[in-house]
Amino acid sequence: MENVNLIDTFADFKEHKSIDRATMMSVLEDVFRNLLIKQFGTDENFDIIINIDKGDFEIWRNREVVEDGEVEDPNLEIAISDVRKKDTSYSVGEEFADEVKLEHFGRRSILALRQNLTSKILELEKENIFNKYSKKVGEIISGEVYQVWKKEMLILDEEGNELVIPKREQIPGDFFRKGDPVRSVVKRVEMKNNTPSIILSRTSPEFLERLFELEVPEIFDGLITIKKIVRSAGERAKVAVESYDERIDPVGACVGMKGARIHGIVRELRNENIDVINYSANTKLFISRALSPAKVNSVKIDEEKKKADVYLDPEEVSKAIGKGGLNIKLASQLTGYEIDVYRDIEEVEEEEDVDIMEFSDEIDAWVLEQFKNIGCDTAKSVLDIPVEELVRRTDLETETVEEVIRILKSEFES
C-alpha cells in the first residue's frame, strides 16, 4: 500500500509539473539514496532503477557471497547457504544481487521518504517558476483573473502559477472580475520565504513599449526605435520614436491608417492619451515636439542647469501645461529638462491687459516680484497658468496665490 502511495506521488509529479526528465530522475534517485544511507550506512552497493514512464522503481542490493559463518557485514556480504536457497548457480567470491522491497524499510521510513520526495518536488517546482519568470522580466504575459482584493489582484497563468498585480501597478480605470483575461508585463521576480513572488504591472513604460511592439511591425523588426517612454498611467503618455530609414515616417507608422494601430493600445490602456513624437538630437526641436499638442514659438536652453524656457502664444499656454500640469511634467521627463512656459511678450502687448505692478496697492510688492521673476509681467499672464503650476514656480503658499488670482480676476470682471 505504501509502495502505491509513493508511486502516486512521483507519478503525479511527472504528469503535472514542468520538470525535465533528467532532473526528475536525479531528484528521485537522490531521495532513495538518502534513505539507503540512513538505513544501511552506505548506498554504494545499491542499484536504483526508476521507470518514469510507468511510475515504478526497483532497488537492488549487491553483496559478496562468502562461506557460512564468515559474514561480517550483512549489508555487504551474504552466506553461500542463503544464496543457494534462491539460486544454486552461485559460488563463493561472486557478487549476488537481490531486490530490496520497500516494506523492508518500515512504515515510518516510508512516510519520511514520501514527505522528503514531496518536499523536493515542491522546492524544484518553486525553483523552476522563479527561473522561468526571471527570464521573462519585461515581457508581456496573458493570464486569467482568479481573485480581486483591495490591495492586489491574483492572476493565474496557463500552467496555474499564481502571479500578482498590486493596486499601484493597475491602471486607475482597470476593472476586472474573476475569469477575465488580462495582459500585463512582468515587472520583477523575488523569493519571499523560499516562495517565488512574480509581480506584474500594467502601469510601467515597459508595458506600453511591448504593446507597441505587438501592434507596430516596424518596431518589432527594428526599423523604428522607441527612444523613450514616459507615462501617467490611465491619463497620458509620451513616446519618442526614431527611424533610421528616411522612407519610413515613424509617427505615422505607429499611429497607423486612421489611427488603426494605436487605437488598440489606447483601448488596452483604458483610453490613455498617447502622444507619439519624432525624436530629435536637436534639443530645442525635441522640447517643442514634447510639449505637443501645444505649438511653441521659441525655446531658450540653459545647458548647465538643464532648464528650458519655452515661449508660446497666450492661447497655447494652457495646452502646454495640461490638466494639473501633467503635459509639461511628462515633457520634462521625456526630454530631461526642467521646462518653464511663458507667454510671448509681443502677444501680451497686443491684448488689453494690465501691468502686474498696477496692483501694488492691494498685493505686497515682494509677492508681485515673485510673479515677475517667472515671466508673468501682466495680470492675464498670471491668470493663464494653473494655481498648482504657479505655486511650484513661485514657491509661494497656495493661499497667497489664490488670493492674488482673486484680486486679478476682480479687475477684469469689474
Q: What is the 3-state secondary structure (H, E, C) of 191-255?
A: EECCEEEEEEECCCHHHHHHHHHHHCHHHHCCCEEEEEEEEECCCEEEEEEEECCCCCCHHHHHH
Burial 6-36 (b: 16+ CB within 10 A, else e): bbebbbebbeeeebeeeebeebbeebbbebb
Query: Between residues 106 and 185, which one has the greater pLDDT?
Result: 185
Q: What is the predicted pLDDT for the residue at 49?
A: 85
Angstrom distances, CA of residue 93 to CA of 83, 255, 305: 12, 84, 90
Task: Show the cell assigned to 56.
Answer: 515504478
Fold of 352-413: DNA polymerase; domain 1 (1.10.150)
10 pLDDT above the threshold of 60 = no
Q: What is the predicted pLDDT for the residue at 4?
A: 45
Domain ranges of the chain: 2-131, 142-203, 207-279, 352-413
98 pLDDT above the threshold of 90 = no
> Quick one: CA dihedral 332, 337, 340, 342, positive or negative?
negative
Q: What is the pLDDT of residues 144-160, one digit of tens each?
A: 999 999 999 999 999 88
Peptide bond into 181 cis (omega under 30): no
Q: What is the predicted pLDDT for the residue at 52?
A: 66
CB 170 within 8 A of CB 180: no
SS3 percent helix, strand, coil of the chain, rounded to 5, is 45, 25, 30
| CATH ID of 142-203, from 2.40.50.140, 3.40.50.1820, 3.40.50.10490, 3.40.50.12280 | 2.40.50.140
351 pLDDT above the threshold of 80 = no
pLDDT-derived band at 355, boundaries 50, 70, 90: confident
- Share above pLDDT 90 across residues of the chain, in percent, rounded to a whole number: 50
Q: What is the predicted pLDDT for the residue at 18?
A: 59
Architecture of domain 2-131: 2-Layer Sandwich (3.30)
Query: Between residues 23 and 272, which one has the greater pLDDT?
Result: 272
Q: What is the pLDDT of residues 59-83, one digit of tens each?
A: 899 999 999 888 888 889 999 998 8
265 pLDDT above the threshold of 70 = yes
Give 371-378's long-range contacts (Cβ < 8 A, gap of 24+).
Answer: 371/404, 374/340, 374/342, 375/309, 375/340, 375/342, 375/343, 377/345, 377/348, 378/348, 378/353, 378/354
Query: Between residues 50 and 183, which one has the greater pLDDT?
Result: 183
| CATH ID of 207-279, from 1.10.4030.10, 3.40.718.10, 3.40.50.300, 3.30.300.20 | 3.30.300.20
**Once rounded to an integer, what is the mean pLDDT over residues 224-232?**
96
Rounded CA separation 96/30 (Å): 24
**Once rounded to an integer, what is the mean pLDDT over residues 294-316?**
92
pLDDT-derived band at 117, boundaries 50, 70, 90: confident
Q: What is the predicted pLDDT for the residue at 252?
A: 93
**Terminus-to-terminus CA distance in the chain, angstroms?**
97
**Once rounded to an integer, what is the mean pLDDT over residues 343-354?**
62
